[in-house]
């Protein structure tokens, strides 16, 4: 398991430093800022891999690959509908003596944001988010249907992209013997864009499980990393690597997380 992060890091440094053209240099930084904006009017397909270290009573490593395409639709001159579709592919280590690891799909999480460009530098969006029980094993997600509100705000002053995305999902149907879902998520993000498509980033994902005991609800990470927007041939790509220490975590939660993301970008021509 530990060889994977090393290979990932080597791949990031190699690809990002290769003789490929900087997409940021080509469009004055707009593409880089759009790539860092979760509700931008930009079709993209991020592959976000999160490796969580020291999970469970045996301090094993968990891996979650989120495949999360973003597809916007223009509604009128003032509003867009931005759809985000998150399908996790999960490796779950053993959590009790005699247990075996599991690998498969987690629960599907589509979100729909009605987005308005309030000003040239400020964008807001809100709408519903859903949870669908697509899990291939009970250890990879609850057999519950869920729904709730989601919202995002993004501010882009100069070289900065700053904002937050928040949601809360409650279970509304599903297997009666499965625990209820009442899950909160807050991801704030701060990006500072440098030359040649490089940028500094922090985008920790703060979560709370309201169904857990009071002292076991929160996961609070702190950290950051580096990324670059560049072209592989004619394909614009956003690639980043970051690490987060969980300063607060549930009793069996991970100590820290390594996140590697490759995001394919499909900007509108013209």
Q: Rounded distance, CA 151 to CA 127, Å?
A: 6
Residue 105 has pLDDT above 70, yes or no: yes
Give the SS3 label for residue 181: coil
Q: Quick one: pLDDT at residue 19?
A: 42
Residue 63 has pLDDT above 60, yes or no: yes
Question: Residue 249 has which token pair?
Answer: 């975590």
Give the pLDDT band (50/70/90) at residue 158.
Answer: very high
Residue 143 has pLDDT above 50, yes or no: yes
Q: Rounded distance, CA 150 to CA 129, Å?
A: 6
Q: Quick one: pLDDT at residue 127?
A: 98
Third-level CATH fold of 3-266: Porin (2.40.160)
Q: What is the mean pLDDT of residues 76-84?
A: 97
Q: Quick one: pLDDT at residue 25?
A: 42
Q: Tell me: the pLDDT tens digits for 159-215?
A: 999 999 999 999 999 988 888 999 999 999 999 999 999 999 999 999 999 999 999
DSSP string covering 188-216: EEEEEE-GGGEEEEE--EEEEETTS-GGG
Q: Rounded distance, CA 246 to CA 3, Å?
A: 22
Give the pLDDT band (50/70/90) at residue 17.
Answer: low
Q: Quick one: pLDDT at residue 16?
A: 54
With b for 16 or more beta-carbon neighbours within 10 A and e for fewer, the 20-57 pattern comes to: bebbbbeeebebbbbbbbbbbbbebebebbbbbbbbbe
Q: Which region among 7-21, 82-96, 200-214 has the lowest average model confidence (pLDDT)?
A: 7-21
Q: Quick one: pLDDT at residue 28?
A: 42
Q: pTM for the complete prediction?
A: 0.89
Burial class (CB in 10 A: 0-12, 13-18, 19+), 201: buried
Q: Quick one: pLDDT at residue 12?
A: 53
Residue 8 has pLDDT above 60, yes or no: no
How high is the mean pLDDT of the chain? 91
């Amino acid at each position: 398991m530990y060889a994977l992060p090393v290979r990932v890091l080597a791949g990031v440094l190699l690809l990002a430093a290769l003789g490929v053209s900087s997409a940021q240099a080509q469009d004055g930084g707009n593409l880089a800022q759009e790539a860092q904006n979760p509700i931008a009017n930009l079709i993209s397909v991020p592959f976000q891999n999160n490796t969580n270290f020291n999970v469970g009573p045996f301090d094993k490593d968990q891996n979650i690959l989120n495949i999360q395409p973003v597809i916007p639709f223009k509604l009128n001159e003032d509003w867009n509908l931005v759809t985000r579709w998150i399908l996790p592919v999960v490796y779950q280590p053993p959590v009790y003596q005699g247990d075996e690891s599991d690998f498969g799909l987690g629960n599907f999480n589509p979100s729909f944001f009605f987005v308005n460009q309030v000003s040239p530098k400020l964008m807001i969006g809100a709408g519903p988010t859903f949870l669908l029980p697509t899990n291939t094993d009970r250890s990879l997600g609850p057999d519950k249907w869920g729904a709730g509100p989601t919202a995002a705000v993004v501010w882009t002053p100069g070289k900065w992209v700053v904002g937050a995305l928040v949601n809360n999902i409650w279970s509304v149907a599903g297997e009666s013997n499965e625990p209820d879902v009442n899950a909160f998520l807050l991801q704030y993000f701060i990006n500072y864009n440098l030359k040649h498509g490089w940028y500094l980033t922090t985008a920790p994902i703060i979560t709370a499980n309201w169904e857990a005991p009071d002292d076991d609800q929160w996961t609070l990470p702190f950290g950051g990393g580096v990324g670059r927007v560049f072209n592989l041939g004619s394909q614009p790509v956003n690639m980043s690597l970051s690490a987060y220490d969980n300063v607060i975590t549930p009793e069996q939660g991970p100590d820290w997380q390594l996140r590697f993301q490759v995001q394919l970008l499909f900007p509108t021509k013209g």
